Amino acid sequence: MAEEIINRVASSKLVVFDLEDYYPQGRRVLFDIKDWLYEGFVLREKDFRALVKEHDWSQYQDAFVALTCTTDAIVPDWAYMLLSIQLEPFAKTTVLGNLETLESYLYQDIINNLDITTYKDKPIIIKGCSKKPVPSSAYIMITNKLKPVAKMIMFGEACSSVPLFKSTSSIK
């Protein structure tokens, strides 16, 4: 008689937390102002304001936008502020930085507003190996968010996890 195979992972009390489940859907746009600068380095206010006025801002409808300048130009803060004012009616979010900065900002907002009461006193595996661009900073943020309530935190997959934290209140 064959012995029944039992899936111990499926029957365990482990809770898998997958940051991909919280990935905000929507188009990401890197708005590089270098092309709006004279020779890519000098911001001429009159010319810059004219470009801002003529630009079709509606193309950023429901997009997540990262404002940046990829040259070594010194860009005054007001220039980014002016762009953000134009983007505000259309873009879901506007940040200063690259696309990784944008993803970190989006996850920070999500994690800060996350209700973690269901994770109280539970062993948690924060799932790794994402197919979506989950920033490394999001793993740190969720670890710090869950640590005060979790019984245990691990990283990886249930079949192969790295232990990170064990609550001292759960040690007997």
Q: Render each residue's pLDDT in the chain as its tens digit; 172 residues.
A: 667 654 444 546 899 999 999 999 999 999 999 999 998 899 999 999 999 999 999 999 999 999 999 999 999 999 999 999 999 999 999 999 999 999 999 999 999 999 999 999 999 999 988 888 899 999 999 999 999 999 999 999 888 889 999 998 755 4
User: Cα–Cα distance between 163 and 140 in angstroms, integer?
Assistant: 14
CB-based contacts of 151, cutoff 8 Å, min separation 6? 121, 122, 123, 124, 166, 167, 170
The angle at the Cα of 62, spanning 57 to 63, to the nearest 5 degrees, equals: 75
pLDDT at position 2 is 66
Alpha helices by DSSP H, the chain: 45-54, 77-87, 99-112, 136-146
Can you give the pTM of this predicted structure?
0.84
In the chain the beta strands, taken as DSSP E runs, fall at 15-17, 28-32, 64-68, 93-96, 123-127, 152-157, 160-166
pLDDT at position 114 is 96
Domain ranges of the chain: 15-24+110-170, 28-91
The angle at the Cα of 59, spanning 55 to 63, to the nearest 5 degrees, equals: 125
pLDDT at position 172 is 46
Question: Token pair of 164, please?
Answer: 């990170």
